[in-house]
């Protein structure tokens, strides 16, 4: 993961304000099966620290800001999410950590699969082993 992948949500604004429409298969590159949002994160709290075997997501900070570190097992990249018109794409087998939530942060997440606790990898060594297993041997 040398560069982070983003999707744009162009604001459909007029003189009353702004509106963003998110459409599965159009603005988001997968069928959306689940939507959740994270808010009220306490100061100094970090979240995440896991990966998923089979889950694609787009995260968009609709209010406030936070930081997300994405790690594919060989490269770690840090993203600042601070715009309701920019979504960060998080693919399969990516370790994520979330930090520095502003008090007002509302992080909306669009997910390709229903919630499945069995899909989580919460141990970093296990994550690295899963990445190694997924790569074709040369
Ligand atoms: C991710 C990052 C960005 C559910 O019951 N259903 C759900 O759809 C989700 C997402 C969570 N939960 C339960 C499981 C836990 O008891 O809600 C509680 C908090 O979830 P978790 O500790 O996994 O939250 P984060 O912020 O560490 O991670 C979440 C997502 O779980 C994860 O998939 O990619 O946000």
pLDDT digits (tens, 9 = 90+) for 34-55: 999 999 999 999 999 999 999 9
Asked whether 56 lines ligand 1 (CB < 6 A), one says no
pLDDT of amino acid 106: 98
pTM above 0.75, yes or no: yes
Half-sphere exposure of 125 (CA within 13 A, CB side): 0
- CB distance 1 to 77 below 8 Å: yes
Residue nearest to atom 23 of ligand 1 (CA): 48
- CB distance 11 to 90 below 8 Å: no
pLDDT of amino acid 2: 58
Asked whether 115 lines ligand 1 (CB < 6 A), one says yes
Q: At residue 1, does pLDDT exceed 60?
A: no
CA pair distance 60, 90, nearest whole angstrom: 11
pLDDT of amino acid 3: 78
Which stretches of the chain are DSSP H helices? Answer: 124-134
Residue nearest to atom 27 of ligand 1 (CA): 48
Asked whether 96 lines ligand 1 (CB < 6 A), one says yes
Query: Catalytic residue positions?
Result: 50
Asked whether 47 lines ligand 1 (CB < 6 A), one says yes
With CA atoms as reference, report the closest residue to 48 among 3, 98, 108. 98
């Amino acid at each position: 993961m040398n560069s982070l992948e983003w999707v744009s949500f162009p604001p459909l604004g007029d003189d009353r304000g702004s509106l963003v429409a998110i459409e599965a298969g159009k603005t988001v590159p997968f069928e959306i099966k689940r939507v959740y949002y994270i808010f009220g994160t306490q100061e100094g709290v970090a979240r995440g620290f896991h990966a998923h075997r089979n889950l694609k997501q787009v995260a968009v900070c609709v209010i406030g800001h936070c930081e997300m570190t994405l790690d594919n097992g060989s490269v770690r990249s840090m993203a600042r999410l601070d715009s309701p018109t920019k979504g960060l794409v998080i693919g399969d087998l990516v370790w994520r950590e979330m930090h520095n939530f502003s008090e007002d942060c509302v992080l909306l997440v669009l997910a390709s699969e229903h919630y499945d606790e069995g899909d989580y990898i919460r141990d970093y060594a296990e994550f690295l082993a899963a990445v190694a297993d997924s790569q074709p041997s040369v």
